[in-house]
Structure 1
């Protein structure tokens, strides 16, 4: 039962005191967005005041952005203040972590593999080999497309020499890839289709370009293709941004049939597909067969992005883009205008690392280690959070996207409670254009936590959800 009751002091301006009390409940997440406030008659009777006091209090809440009125229905909590607050809190918390306070928290926000699995000694030998071989040349700027040796290795080891090496553009990570592609192909008011939910970094870039963003709901095997086709029949679409394997944040992998149909629709309706190969390397089940949209593309409709940072070493900031011929020169130009070239030394080192089979072995080791954590996390979620959250097996990736089953707890309340208990989660609202749609979701990443920390962190989540029963 929500504590709407309080007493007045003699000097209180009553309607302002009512508004202050309700604002405190909203800011403390005792009241969540969309929740109906007591009727004017009910609340005036509870507090022993005139109905005009409640009317004035509710009007004040509306004017300050804390409430909205539905004609004939009542007054409801509005989320804008909560959303701004949680975005600021999430950002500030993350900044503090990057300053070295991570040891005080169980961090479920990790997006990259743990440094404990990075083969430092091996990579040190590779760096020394580069310096011994290339000397000062290891530090000079390369071809604008990137170090030729690395592009050759990418083509050979990841594409079976089916690409032209001049079609491969080395970039400083996937985010830069998204940025330069967006600058090259998207103009103001262009229509862009994205998955719902989707990666917030891409959404922010599309917003910055002032594109019209259209979301399509994710299902267990990808977006609703029928919904995509309906949108295409009514709108001129410039591109579709997708993560077909272990999508961020849902972990969903597309079916072969859906990928095939999306490629057919791209040709029929003349749009391009931005394929962000997020974490296809991290797979725990043979049932997930990797076949990228780019490898299936016979009409040159796919712009492929791959980052090595997420699963190798975030600090090296290396990835690559394979654009269609139509946009190749334009994308290259925007890359040059952005930063001229990506680290020469690291490109050369990564080239050797791939050519010697060290990358392949590194991925194998990661899959073995993270499969243990993934299976432990699934088991613990089923044990501790059963019936409290909705759980989906993803069979890969480094996180789980969970739906809170209890209506009296949303991701804001859970985020605050966890933070106060030294646990960090990612609120689901950050992955939606309309944060209302993500209020019951949260993401927990397991790349930075061992099994002991997973158990402890889930216990904290369970404590809040149990209290809400």
Structure 2
């Protein structure tokens, strides 16, 4: 008992919440094993010099939160297998509560999109005014189920050099809706779906909801492990492979052109389709990384391409687009129409004009200049503080880093999240990115888009202090 509760002994009046928190931490970091018997109520109360009711309340609270279970006539036992079960809700509630409170004291490393302070409000307002003057009420009332023709044409000409027909482009309300629309159109119960491991939590949720048969393939430095991938393809009937081709969320990995060609070849051999989520490919800082999407290399019409303007532009402007293969064009278009009929007509027209005027390219150039400097600064702080305690790759672009906590450090990402939150630092735990959350307990993601240099260094220093205390 001493090795578990010595730190609490002698702290004066001990409330049950203090004991509860201490036992949770011991279970989270595996000092108390799953299924291990906890001290009896009488013995623990005597050791900590509290009354029996305090320990009874502690154990009841642990049971209600999934950290313990009772065996009648035997006692109370630790329970680890459900510690991640409600964490997604806890994480979401924490972020919502902080956002709604207007509390700006937090150093928030959780965001995945550019800082709104850099958004060109004045120029976009002028574009909206021009659209309203030009189109009048039609800009607000006219609905086009597949998207505004002008925007589809500008996407075709500006981003694809007219290599993709505007009639094959479908406007959606961001990448998340794109994934949802595609899954509803082509994924049925027990269909085989391959995901990267780890992967974007929003996509994982969609395919789980569709009750697909999900297979995971670990990530290498230039994309998924091809050998493991092909073994899965040989043994199973796979319908789709979902991938984020640039600065993958969360690992930050970008696919090499060689690996893309290998996967496209496998798609033809094993008759599956690639759902490409082209995530933040505009933000390439390392000039050795060249842009070639799966879609641009696709010779056999095997790629369902999804692109969001919301992530790179402004989350509140919910616009993206997808390009389906001819085989699924009608079913995906019908799925979109059944989902929400159409995306905001005014925002589509404004974005179209913004792109045509060349303002989009100017904005992206500005973001690259700002975030390449912030990326380099964040990287230098990480190397300065963490050294060998936390491993991370250098993605060469995007807006985040992904970390593996050294096995010699006695802390997992859930405990790190909770301790950091108490110190006004917010991170994204790795458990959110895995089909089996336990596989992500030694990982976390750190986004640098919302913070200045001083805030970034302060947040990293606080995380370093937390990790050092458990080293």
Map 1:139-288 onto structure 2 (within 5 A): 139-288=140-289
Do the aligned residues in 2 keep the contact of 1:35 with 1:76 (CA within 8 Å)?
Answer: no
Partner-residue secondary structure (3-state), 1:314: coil
**Which residue is 2:95 aligned to?**
94
Question: Shift of residue 7 of structure 1?
Answer: 11
**Which residue is 1:456 aligned to?**
458
Do the aligned residues in 2 keep the contact of 1:191 with 1:239 (CA within 8 Å)?
Answer: yes
Question: Shift of residue 260 of structure 1?
Answer: 0.3
**Which residue is 2:349 aligned to?**
348
**Which residue is 2:73 aligned to?**
none
Question: Shift of residue 77 of structure 1?
Answer: 5.6
1:458–1:336 distance in 2 versus 1, CA, 3 Å: same
Among 429, 435, 439, the residue aligned to 1:437: 439
Map 1:284-363 onto structure 2 (within 5 A): 284-363=285-364
In structure 2, distance between residues paired with 1:88 and 1:340: 30
Do the aligned residues in 2 keep the contact of 1:275 with 1:305 (CA within 8 Å)?
Answer: yes
Do the aligned residues in 1 keep the contact of 2:193 with 2:214 (CA within 8 Å)?
Answer: yes
**Which residue is 1:381 aligned to?**
382
**Which residue is 1:424 aligned to?**
426
Structure 1 unmatched ranges of 5 or more = 9-18, 50-56, 69-74
Partner-residue secondary structure (3-state), 1:305: strand
1:255–1:370 distance in 2 versus 1, CA, 3 Å: same
1:242–1:104 distance in 2 versus 1, CA, 3 Å: same
1:407–1:348 distance in 2 versus 1, CA, 3 Å: same
Do the aligned residues in 2 keep the contact of 1:26 with 1:82 (CA within 8 Å)?
Answer: no
Question: Shift of residue 87 of structure 1?
Answer: 2.6
Cα deviation code 1:96-155 (max 9, x no counterpart): 133142412111001111111101111111111101111111112333210000000000
Aligned: 1:414 with 2:416: yes
Do the aligned residues in 2 keep the contact of 1:240 with 1:271 (CA within 8 Å)?
Answer: yes
Q: Report the more deviating stretch, 406-415 or 247-256.
A: 406-415
**Which residue is 1:14 aligned to?**
none
Partner-residue secondary structure (3-state), 1:417: helix
In structure 1, distance between residues paired with 2:225 and 2:418: 33
Aligned: 1:468 with 2:460: no
> How many residues in Structure 1 have an aligned counterpart in Structure 2?
442
**Which residue is 2:51 aligned to?**
none
Structure 2 unmatched ranges of 5 or more = 10-15, 46-55, 70-75
**Which residue is 1:137 aligned to?**
138
Question: Shift of residue 435 of structure 1?
Answer: 1.0
Cα deviation code 1:235-266 (max 9, x no counterpart): 00010000010000000001111100100000
Partner-residue secondary structure (3-state), 1:253: coil
1:285–1:91 distance in 2 versus 1, CA, 3 Å: same
Aligned: 1:32 with 2:28: yes
Partner-residue secondary structure (3-state), 2:252: coil
In structure 1, distance between residues paired with 2:82 and 2:418: 15
1:7–1:155 distance in 2 versus 1, CA, 3 Å: closer
In structure 2, distance between residues paired with 1:217 and 1:227: 8
1:137–1:65 distance in 2 versus 1, CA, 3 Å: closer
In structure 2, distance between residues paired with 1:417 and 1:40: 24
Question: Shift of residue 432 of structure 1?
Answer: 0.5
Partner-residue secondary structure (3-state), 2:354: helix
1:434–1:40 distance in 2 versus 1, CA, 3 Å: closer
Question: Shift of residue 386 of structure 1?
Answer: 1.3
Question: Shift of residue 408 of structure 1?
Answer: 0.7
In structure 2, distance between residues paired with 1:309 and 1:144: 19
Cα deviation code 1:289-329 (max 9, x no counterpart): 00000000010000000000011111110000000001000
Partner-residue secondary structure (3-state), 1:122: helix
Partner-residue secondary structure (3-state), 2:365: helix
Question: Shift of residue 36 of structure 1?
Answer: 5.4
In structure 2, distance between residues paired with 1:354 and 1:91: 34
Cα deviation code 1:440-463 (max 9, x no counterpart): 111110111111110111111011
Partner-residue secondary structure (3-state), 2:98: helix
**Which residue is 2:12 aligned to?**
none
Give the TM-score, by structure 2 length: 0.88
